[in-house]
Amino acid sequence: MGPGLDLFAAVAPEGAWTVSQVTRRARALVEGGLEPLWVRGEISGFKAWQSGHWYFTLRDRGAQIRCVMFQKDNRRLPTAPADGLQVFVFARPTVWEEKGEFRLTVADLLSTEAGGLWQLAFEKAKAALAKDGLLDPARKRPLPPYPLRIALVTSPDGAALRDIIAVAGRRWPVAELLVVPTRVQGDGAEDEICAALGLVCRIEGLDLVIIGRGGGSREDLWTFNHERVARAVAALPVPVVSAVGHETDVTLCDLVADLRAPTPSAAAESATPDRGDVLAELDHLGVRLARALGGRSGRMAERLARGFDRLTGALERRLERHGHELAGLAGRLDALSPLKILDRGYAVARDRQGRVLKHVAQFTDGLPFRLRVTDGDVAARAGES
CA distances from 22 to 11, 27, 29 (A): 13, 8, 10
Shortest Cβ 241–other proteins spacing (Å):
17
181 near other proteins, rule: CB under 8 A: yes
User: Nearest to residue 183, comparing CAs of 156, 143, 204?
Assistant: 156
Q: Smaller CB distance to other proteins: residue 28 or 174?
A: 174
Stretch that binds other proteins, among 158-166, 234-242, 254-262, 359-367 (CB under 8 A): 158-166
Cα separation, 368 vs 357, whole angstroms: 11
169 near other proteins, rule: CB under 8 A: yes
SS3 107: strand
Stretch that binds other proteins, among 11-19, 65-73, 128-136, 288-296 (CB under 8 A): 288-296
Q: Smaller CB distance to other proteins: residue 65 or 151?
A: 151
Shortest Cβ 296–other proteins spacing (Å):
5
List 179, 342, 357, 367, residue binding other proteins (CB under 8 A)? 179
SS3 266: helix
Contact in structure between 267 and 164 (CB atoms under 8 Å): yes
Q: Smaller CB distance to other proteins: residue 77 or 167?
A: 167
Please report, as residue ranges, which positions from 189 to 228 form the binding site for other proteins (by CB under 8 A): 195, 199-200, 202-205
Shortest Cβ 169–other proteins spacing (Å):
4
Cα separation, 234 vs 258, whole angstroms: 9
140 near other proteins, rule: CB under 8 A: no
Contact in structure between 95 and 23 (CB atoms under 8 Å): yes
Angle of helix 159-171 versus helix 264-271 axis, rounded to 10: 30
Cα separation, 26 vs 36, whole angstroms: 16
CA distances from 143 to 146, 198, 209, 364 (A): 9, 20, 10, 124
Stretch that binds other proteins, among 35-43, 224-232, 284-292, 352-360 (CB under 8 A): 284-292
Q: What's 356's DSSP letter?
A: B
298 near other proteins, rule: CB under 8 A: no
159 near other proteins, rule: CB under 8 A: no
List 275, 347, 349, 350, residue binding other proteins (CB under 8 A)? 275
Could you give the maximum distance between any two Cα atoms of the chain, in Å? Answer: 216
Stretch that binds other proteins, among 52-60, 80-88, 248-256, 281-289 (CB under 8 A): 281-289
